[in-house]
Structure 1
Amino acid sequence: MKQLVFLAIALLPFQMLAQTGASSAATTGNPKIRAITGFVRLDRSQFEKQVADTLTVLRKVKSEFEAAGYQVESVRITTQPLGELVKGASEEEALAFLARFDALSVKEDFIPNVGPAMMHDSDDPATMHLLERALSKLPTIEASSIIADESGIHWKTIHRTAELVKYVAEHSPHAQGTFNFTATAMLKPLGPFYPGSFHTGAGKQFAIGIEGAGLVADVFTRDKGNAETATTDLTAALTKHARVAESIGNKVAAETGWAYVGFDPTPAPLGEVSIATAIEDFTGAKFGSSGTLTAARIITAAVKAVPVKQIGYSGLMVPVMEDKVMAQRWAENDFNVDSLLAYSAVCGTGLDTIPLPGDVSLEQMERMYSDVASLALKWNKPLSARLQPVPGKKAGDVTEYQDPYLFNTTIHAVP
C-alpha cells in the first residue's frame, strides 16, 4: 500500500534508496516505466467496480512490461474533472467520496488523480475550496487547475490557484499537500504524468510515460559536446523503448477494447536518475551554467523526433526537488526561477517543485503563475507550475520535507 511503502522508504537514508534504484536499473538494463495511466469516467455509485475493471487492464500492461524486462514504478487512474466527478453532491458528501476513493487507492496500490478543479474562469470556484480540503487531508489524491489554454490566460483561475496553494501549504502535514497539485498551461488531455494529467471524454483509455533521464545521461556522456550526434543518438535510444511501449499498448488495447492513446517520451528524472547530471555530462559544467539551455533544446528535439504516437508534455522535465543533483544546484544558487523560465522557451518544463518562503504573498505567486501561462500561450507548448510554500521558513532556510521523492534544498527569495 502506498502509505505504508512511503513510510518504510522514508526511514531509509536517501543514499540507500538511490543505491537500490540504481541496482534495479542496472539489473534490467532498461529505464523504468514511470507511469501506466488509465482514464475513466467514474460513477460514484459504482466506482469500486470501475476501478477494479480499470486495474485489470493497467495491471495487464504492467505485466507485459515486466515480461519484457522493465520495472514499472506506478499504476495510475485519472478521473473526469473534479467538478464533474462530484456534481450534485454537497461539499461534505463530495469530501467523503474523495476519502473513500483515496483509501481505495492505498488498498489497491494505484495513484488517483481527480483532474482540474477549474478548467475555465467561468467554472465554479467552490470546487477549488473542496480541493483545498481534500489535498490538506488526503495523502494520495492528486489534482490540478488549468491556467491557460487555446482561449487564452485564465486570470481568475490563477488567483484562485494561488489561494489554494497557500491554504494547502498551511493546512497539510509538513506542507506536503502542495506536492500533489500543479497548475498547467496549454497541456492537452490524456497525458500520463501527474499531477497535471486529465481527460474530458468517456474514458477507457490508457497512456504510458517513461523515467528516461538515465538514457539521456548515457548518451550525453558518450556524445559530450557534440549536439548533432547527441540528438541523433538520444532519439534512437528513446525510440527503442517507445517502440516497446507502443507494441505493448496496442496489444493490450486489442485484447481489452480499451484505447491506447500514446506514449510520453519525456525523460522524467527521479532521485539519482538525474536529468541535471545528464546535462552536466554534456556541458562539462554545473546545471545552470552556460550551455544548459542548449542541452535542454537537444533533449526536447530528440523527444519530438521519436516516431511514435506522442501524448502529454513530450519535452523535458526539470523538477527541482525530485532530482537529487538539481536540488543541490538550487541550494548552491546555480540557477533560479528566471533560469527555469528561460529553459522553458526551448523545452517543456515550467516551474516544478519550487520551494517558496512561507510568507510568499498571493500576488507573488500569481505573478509566477502568470509568467508560466504567458510563456506557454506565446509558444503554444505545455508548461506547468508546482509551487510549494513552506510555512515558518524564510529565504535561506532549508526545507524539511519527509517524503522519499523530495530532496530538501534551500529556499530562495521571491523577487
Structure 2
Amino acid sequence: MNYKNKQLCKIRTITTFLTLDKDKNNWEKKIEKACYFCNNLSKRFNRIDYEVQSIRVVTNAFEEYLNINSIEEAKEDLAYISSLLNKYSNENLRIRFAIGEAKTKEQIEMLPELIASYGDLCNACVNIKKDEFDILDNTTILHCAKAVKKISQITPRGEGNFNFTVNFNCKPFIPYFPASYHESFLEDSYVIGLETPDLLVNVLSKCNESNTKKTHQEKFKEYYEVLSTSLQYHVDNINEVINSFDNSDFKFVGIDSSAAPSKNCSSMASVYELLGVEYFGAAGSVEASSLLTKVFKSIKNVPLVGFSGLMLAVIEDLGLAAGTKRKDYDIRTLLTNSAVCGIGLDTVPIEGDTSIEKIALIMQDTGTMAFRLNKPLTVRLFPYPNLKQGDITAYESDDLCNCAVLKVP
C-alpha cells in the first residue's frame, strides 16, 4: 500500500477550545457554533478522503461556569450541556466534551461523581504545579490519587478513569482527552489530532523489504527519512484544507502529530518490531522511542501543539495490551521510555488495592521527569477492583483492550 493512501492517516479529532461563563443563556450559542464548525470542517476533510473519527469540545476551568455550590447543582448544569451536545451533534461522528481543569481540593473531590454520571461528556484534568525550589505540589497530587481510587470504586470496572488524568508540564491546546484544557484569556481555537500507526507500519514494512543489507545506523537514518516524509505528506494535505477553510469563529493553532493509537488500528508494538526491536520493552526500545519522537517533532509548515510525540497507551493498543500478558514490560519500562518520548503513564491498569500513597508516589516520579526534562507527561491509572498483578481485566468499553494488570513498584 502506498504511503499516500489516505486510509493510513486518520484524523482522530477536530478539537475546539472555547470559553463559557456563568450566564447559561450563552452556552447554547457557543456549543452550537462549536458543533457546527467541527461538522463543517469534517466534511471538508471527507471530500479529500480523510476520515474524521471524533469531534471534541474543551472548555475553560469548570469553576468558571458550572454551579459548583453543590454536586447536585453541578450535575444539573452538566445535564443541560449534555442535552445541548445531543441536540447539535452529528450522528455520524462521536462527540466528546471536556470540562477543563479542576483547581482546588473541593473541585477534585467532585470529579469522581461527575465522571460517574456523565463519563465521556465530563473529561477532566488537574495541572500540577511546582514551587520556586522545583518541588511538586504533592498535596494536590495526593488529592488526585484519592480521586483515581474513588473513580475506580464507583464506576464499573474502574473504567471512569478513562476520563481523568493528572498533567505535568502540559500546556493548553492538547487535542486528546482527558489532558485537554482551555484558558479563558485565550481565543476560541481549534487543533487537529491524528491517528497514524497504520501509516507507520505500512512505511516501515515497505522500507524493510529493501534495506536488509544496511547497517543499523543506515537503517535508522532511512527509517527517519521515510517516516518523516510520509507523515509530512499527510500533514500538508490537511493543512491545505485548513488554509482554504474560511472561518472566523475558531482560530487554528496547530496540529498534534502524535501517533495516538487505538484498538482499531495497527499497534505501536508492531512499529517497534519493524524497527528491529524484539518486542516493546526489550533492549533497543528506548532507542526506537527516541527515533519515533524525532519523527513526530520533524513536521514543518504547521505549528506543532499538544504532545506531538510518541504515545504508549497500554489499554487502548491491542499489541501493548498483549505485551502485558507476556510480561514484556512493566511500569518502570513505560517511565524509562517516557524520558525520550511521552506521554507518561497512560491508561495503565494497576492492582485494585494499590494504596493512595503509592499512586501519589508514582505520580510524583512522573511529574519530576516532566519538569526535569521539560516535556509534557501525564498519569492516567486504572486501579481494577479486586484484581492483582497478572490478573486479566474484563473491560466492556469499546475504547479499552483487556490485558494483564500491572503492579506499581
TM-score over 0.5 for the pair: yes
Match of 1:268 among 260, 267, 283: 260
Counterpart Cα distance in 2 of 1:79 and 1:96: 17
Say if 2:7 is the partner of 1:29: yes
- Paired letter, 2:335: L
Say if 2:199 is the partner of 1:215: yes
Counterpart Cα distance in 2 of 1:171 and 1:81: 24
Say if 2:235 is the partner of 1:242: yes
Deviations 1:40-87 (A, max 9, x none): 112333312211111111112111111111111000000101222326
Cα displacement (A) at 1:139: 2.7
Deviations 1:114-170 (A, max 9, x none): 11112xxxxx31111221210122132211111246964221221111000100110
Cα displacement (A) at 1:106: 4.5
Which ranges in structure 2 are unaligned for 5 or more consecutive residues? Answer: 209-215
Say if 2:324 is the partner of 1:346: no
Look up the match of 1:182. 165
Say if 2:97 is the partner of 1:112: yes
Q: Say which SS state the counterpart of residue 256 (structure 1) adopts.
A: coil
Change (3 A) 1:53 1:89: farther
% of aligned pairs identical? Answer: 30
Q: Say which SS state the counterpart of residue 247 (structure 2) adopts.
A: helix
Counterpart Cα distance in 1 of 2:226 and 2:54: 28
Cα displacement (A) at 1:245: 2.4
Kindly report which structure 2 residues correspond to 1:14-413, keeping only aligned pairs within 5 A, or say none. 28-43=6-21, 44-86=24-66, 89-107=69-87, 108=89, 109-118=94-103, 124-140=104-120, 141-148=122-129, 152=134, 153-200=136-183, 201-224=185-208, 226-252=219-245, 254-271=246-263, 272-307=265-300, 308-413=302-407
Cα displacement (A) at 1:344: 0.7
Change (3 A) 1:407 1:218: same
Deviations 1:362-415 (A, max 9, x none): 111011101110000001001111100011212221111101111111112222
Cα displacement (A) at 1:88: 6.5
- Paired letter, 2:201: A
- Paired letter, 2:324: W
Deviations 1:266-319 (A, max 9, x none): 111111421111111111511111111111111110111111210100110000
Counterpart Cα distance in 2 of 1:103 and 1:179: 22
Counterpart Cα distance in 2 of 1:145 and 1:343: 23
Q: Say which SS state the counterpart of residue 263 (structure 1) adopts.
A: strand
Q: Say which SS state the counterpart of residue 119 (structure 2) adopts.
A: coil
Answer whether contact 1:149 1:185 (CA < 8 A) is retained.
Answer: no
Answer whether contact 2:4 2:234 (CA < 8 A) is retained.
Answer: no
Q: Say which SS state the counterpart of residue 16 (structure 2) adopts.
A: strand
Q: Say which SS state the counterpart of residue 293 (structure 1) adopts.
A: helix
Deviations 1:176-230 (A, max 9, x none): 1111111111111011111101110344210001001112212322344511111
Counterpart Cα distance in 1 of 2:95 and 2:298: 31
Change (3 A) 1:102 1:390: farther
Counterpart Cα distance in 1 of 2:98 and 2:156: 19
Counterpart Cα distance in 2 of 1:169 and 1:387: 9
Q: Say which SS state the counterpart of residue 51 (structure 2) adopts.
A: coil
Q: Say which SS state the counterpart of residue 309 (structure 2) adopts.
A: coil
Answer whether contact 1:316 1:348 (CA < 8 A) is retained.
Answer: yes
Answer whether contact 2:13 2:175 (CA < 8 A) is retained.
Answer: yes
Counterpart Cα distance in 1 of 2:355 and 2:68: 34
Answer whether contact 1:79 1:85 (CA < 8 A) is retained.
Answer: no
Change (3 A) 1:269 1:386: same
Counterpart Cα distance in 1 of 2:347 and 2:247: 38
Deviations 1:319-338 (A, max 9, x none): 00100010000111101110
TM-score by length of 1: 0.88
Q: Say which SS state the counterpart of residue 145 (structure 1) adopts.
A: strand
Which ranges in structure 1 are unaligned for 5 or more consecutive residues? Answer: 1-21, 119-123
Q: What is the number of residues matched between the two proteins?
A: 386
